Amino acid sequence: VKMHFGEFGNTRYIRPIFARWVVDFVKECGGQPFLTDTTSLYKHHRHTLFEYLQCAAINGFTYEGMGCPIIIADGLKGTGMVIKVENAFYLDEVKVAQAIYEADAMIVLSHPTLHPEFPIAGALKNVGMGCTTKEAKMKMHSKGAKPTFVVEACVRCYMCVKVCPVGAWEKVEGGGVRFIEERCVSCGDCVAYCKGGAIRVAWGAGLDKVQGGVLDAVKAVFATFDAGKIAFISIATDITPACDCQPSGLPIVPDIGFLASTDPVAIDKATFDLIQEAVVYPTSMLERKLAANPTDGDDDKVKPFWASLDSDAFWQLVVKSKLGNLDYELVRISL
């Protein structure tokens, strides 16, 4: 069950009880479920296996509460399998996290939100960013796909030397380290383990590269499963202006409900449309932004937050990816 356990300090992530319902259902069907996610590229409380497990536990995701293992899919040092991508936009190959690669089937449990790089951060982002290693994330986000080294910030912990798989970091005489860029394979482990924050991601890849790279990664992940072995559930509650990696505020619209599909594109487009059709949440940041700039209108919930995002262009890119269908039939079920 692929999900996001929430960043430390975020309070709008998927409630643990919802994940437990999915776990129990899988067990009833004879499956052996585990909840999983991968470490983050940015440095906060999810960038190593140890810190992410601690963060997940703080947020309520433990074996005792969920009734199944909590597994960080890319392990201690970005373990995964390199998968070639056909008809790629930007990434001809993507390193898929090991536990994702080894799984027999996957339920993608997503919490849709807005996002600075996507009009909807839902199933596609959950798979493309969330099922891959730091190496893949680095290639999606970084201008040069290599980290930068700020020498004056180095605290000489030498973790980079210890974790680098190719010897791109070396101790120098008199103390400190040097970065041999030509050896770097962009695995990103040095970024995660650097204690002084001296090794940093060269953020700045354009929207087209980030979006195209994520869609390439989705293709790679899907290639590791047999047909019919992936399903998608999106819990459209507590919908915020940014993803669960960010601090929480009020939702931008009232709770919409749960959506389910076997098509990741259809479920994301349906969720996006429902958000656009929803009324604005009273006293929310969205209401304040619209009050300050009435010309933004309330028919586009994305532009007031992320003016550079072109939702139509994103959906056109999704169509080109051939990952699913924008057309959908919405069947409403009340229990």
DSSP one-letter string for 156-207: ---HHHHH-SS--EEE-TTS-EEE-GGG-----HHHHH-SSS-EE--B---H
* CA–CA distance, 120 with 59 (Å, rounded to integer): 23
pLDDT digits over 146-180, tens only?
889 999 999 999 999 999 999 999 999 999 999 99
pLDDT digits over 289-330, tens only?
998 887 655 578 999 999 889 999 999 999 999 999 999 999
CATH number of 16-140+205-321: 3.40.50
Per-residue model confidence (pLDDT) at position 89: 96
Query: What is the mean pLDDT of the segment spanning 1-18?
Result: 97
pLDDT digits over 30-40, tens only?
999 999 999 99
pLDDT digits over 243-261, tens only?
998 888 899 999 999 999 9
Helix (H) or strand (E) holding 234: strand 230-236
Burial class (CB in 10 A: 0-12, 13-18, 19+), 227: exposed
CB 272 within 8 Å of CB 297: no
What is the DSSP secondary-structure string of 41-82?
SSSSSSSSHHHHHHHHHHTT--HHHHSS-EEETTTTTT-EEE
Average pLDDT over the chain reads 94
pLDDT band at 185; cut points 50, 70, 90: confident
* CA–CA distance, 260 with 330 (Å, rounded to integer): 10
CB 135 within 8 Å of CB 184: no
pLDDT band at 43; cut points 50, 70, 90: confident
Nearest Cα residue to 309 out of 242, 240, 218, 232: 242
pLDDT digits over 107-155, tens only?
999 999 999 999 999 999 999 999 999 999 988 987 667 889 999 999 9
Per-residue model confidence (pLDDT) at position 295: 63
pLDDT digits over 54-106, tens only?
999 999 999 999 999 999 999 998 999 999 999 999 999 999 999 999 999 99
Per-residue model confidence (pLDDT) at position 76: 92
Neighbours of 301 (CB within 10 A): 26
Distances (CA, A) of 145 to 87, 195, 210, 309: 21, 21, 12, 23
Per-residue model confidence (pLDDT) at position 192: 82
Judged against a pLDDT cut of 60, whether residue 202 lies above it is answered with yes
Q: Which residues of 44-72 are buried (b: 16+ CB within 10 A; e: fewer)?
A: ebbbbbebbbebbeebbbeeeebebebbb
* CA–CA distance, 277 with 275 (Å, rounded to integer): 5
Query: What is the mean pLDDT of the segment spanning 231-250?
Result: 93
Neighbours of 308 (CB within 10 A): 8
All structural domains of the chain with their residue ranges: 16-140+205-321, 144-200
Residues with Cβ within 8 Å of 255's Cβ and at least 6 positions away in sequence, in order, are: 236, 237, 238, 239
Model pTM score: 0.91
* CA–CA distance, 226 with 239 (Å, rounded to integer): 32
CATH number of 144-200: 3.30.70.20
